[in-house]
Amino acid sequence: LAKTTQPISMDSYEGQEVNITCSHNNIATNDYITWYQQFPSQGPRFIIQGYKTKVTNEVASLFIPADRKSSTLSLPRVSLSDTAVYYCLVGDNQGGKLIFGQGTELSVKP
């Protein structure tokens, strides 16, 4: 399973764009990249998933370069409620297990 590396923590202010980069040098050809958000005492919540280039939904964008060895989650105009831990995972979406890395603890300040 591909290992992921993310910054342990990040600080931001309300209204700013936040970019969290994840490194996954050993990503396999069939692997997708998935990001989850977790608040304290809750299960992780799906944010976005992608395979290559760019994916955008109503809450975030995911940028994946051609070599797919990294990915960047972009959160536009964060608010205090975006304070959470963000996890980047890679997996083949074929029923295989996911291994969580340490995640990035994002703190949004007023």
Partner 1 sequence: GAVVSQHPSWVICKSGTSVKIECRSLDFQATTMFWYRQFPKQSLMLMATSNEGSKATYEQGVEKDKFLINHASLTLSTLTVTSAHPEDSSFYICSAMFSLNQPQHFGDGTRLSIL
- Using CB under 8 A as the criterion, which residues of the chain lie in contact with partner 1 when the complex forms? 32, 34, 36, 41-46, 49, 87, 93-95, 97-103
User: CB of 49: closest distance to partner 1 in angstroms?
Assistant: 5
Q: What share of the chain is helix, strand, coil (3-state, %, to 5)?
A: 5, 50, 50
> Under the phi-then-psi rule, with left for phi > 0, alpha for psi from -120 to 50, and beta for the rest, what region is 64?
beta
* 29 vs 94, beta carbon nearer partner 1: 94
Angle at 21 between CA 62 and CA 26, to 5 degrees: 95
User: CB of 107: closest distance to partner 1 in angstroms?
Assistant: 14
User: CB of 62: closest distance to partner 1 in angstroms?
Assistant: 12
User: CB of 15: closest distance to partner 1 in angstroms?
Assistant: 28
* 26 vs 30, beta carbon nearer partner 1: 30
* 35 vs 78, beta carbon nearer partner 1: 35
Give me the residue label for tokens 């297990």.
97
* 29 vs 41, beta carbon nearer partner 1: 41
Four-residue CA torsion sign, 41, 97, 87, 48: negative
Distance (Å, whole) CA 89 – CA 49: 9
